[in-house]
Chains A and B, each alone.
Chain A
Amino acid sequence: DSGVTQTPKHLITATGQRVTLRCSPRSGDLSVYWYQQSLDQGLQFLIQYYNGEERAKGNILERFSAQQFPDLHSELNLSSLELGDSALYFCASSGTGLASETQYFGPGTRLLVL
C-alpha cells in the first residue's frame, strides 16, 4: 500500500458526460501528479500540482482540468467524454527535497466511456 488513495475505483459513463476523479496524496506529500494509462499509449503524464499551484503540464487535453485543494487532495475533471478517454487514471504523490525524486502511485481509477 503506497498511502495514495483514489476514488472511485471504477467509473462507467456515456460519451459527452463529465466525471470527477479524486486523489488523496500520502501524508505530508505536497506534490500530486496525474497520469493516464491506455493500452496503446502506456503511462502518459497529464499534470502536476505542488501545494495548490499548477507546476507542470503534459499531454492534457483542454477538456480535462485539475485542481489541488488546501487539504492537498486533488481532483481531475474530465468533460465532454469520448470513447478514447477510456483508460486507467493514476494519481501519484511525492515529498519535498530529496523525497521529491520518487513518485508513489495510487491504485487508479478505471474509466469506461460507452
Chain B
Amino acid sequence: EDQVTQSPEALRLQEGESSSLNCSYTVSGLRGLFWYRQDPGKGPEFLFTLYSAGEEKEKERLKATLTKKESFLHITAPKPEDSATYLCAVRSNSGYALNFGKGTSLLVTP
C-alpha cells in the first residue's frame, strides 16, 4: 500500500531563514510526486510534479527535489506570505488517485 509521510508536522521560521520540508514515500511504481500549497479553508494549489530520481524544479523561493525514497521542498529566504500548509502526494502506476501526506504547516514570522 502506498504511504506518504511528511516531516516536520509544523515549522516556524523567521523571515529569511531557509529550511527544508521532507516527504518520504513508499509506492509500487511511482507515476509522479506532487507538491501542493494549501492556505486555511482553501483548496490545494498545485506547485510541482516530479517524476524521476534526481529531478529538480524551482519556482520563486521554492525548490523541489526527488530521490528514490523521498522528496524535499527547499524554501530559500522565506517571506511571511509563504506561510501555509505544504502537501506532498504520490500517484502510482496502478491508479489515478493522489495519495496525500498529512502536510507540514509552515509559519514564517517577520
Interface of A is mostly: strand
| Most chain A CB within a 10 A radius of its CB, from B41, B42, B91, B97 | B97
| Interface assignment of B63: CB less than 8 Å from any CB of chain A | no
Partner of A56 from B34, B96, B102 at Cβ < 8 Å:
B96
Partner of B100 from A2, A43, A101, A102 at Cβ < 8 Å:
A43
What's the nearest-Cβ distance from chain B to residue A110, in Å?
Answer: 7
What's the nearest-Cβ distance from chain B to residue A90, in Å?
Answer: 6
- How many positions in chain A have a CB within 8 Å of any CB in the partner chain? 25
- How many positions in chain B have a CB within 8 Å of any CB in the partner chain? 23
Determine the residue in chain A with the shortest Cβ distance to B6.
A42
- State the CA gap A43–B97 with chains docked (Å): 11
Partner of A33 from B46, B97, B99 at Cβ < 8 Å:
B97
A42 with B102: CB separation less than 8 A: yes
Say yes or no: A43-B43 contact (C-beta < 8 A), given A56-B96, A102-B49: no
A101 with B32: CB separation less than 8 A: yes
Q: Which residues of A contact B43 (CB under 8 A)?
A: 2, 4, 90, 105-108
- State the CA gap A101–B97 with chains docked (Å): 10
| Interface assignment of B10: CB less than 8 Å from any CB of chain A | no
- State the CA gap A10–B43 with chains docked (Å): 14
Please report which residues of chain A, range 8-58, place their CB below 8 angstroms from some CB of chain B when the two chains form the complex: 31, 33, 35, 42-45, 48, 55-56, 58
| Interface assignment of B16: CB less than 8 Å from any CB of chain A | no
On B, residues with C-beta under 8 Å from A are 31-32, 34, 36, 41-46, 49, 87, 89, 91, 95-103
- A-B contact sample (9 more), CB < 8 A, given A56-B95, A56-B97: A42-B100, A42-B101, A42-B102, A43-B89, A43-B98, A45-B98, A58-B97, A102-B34, A105-B46
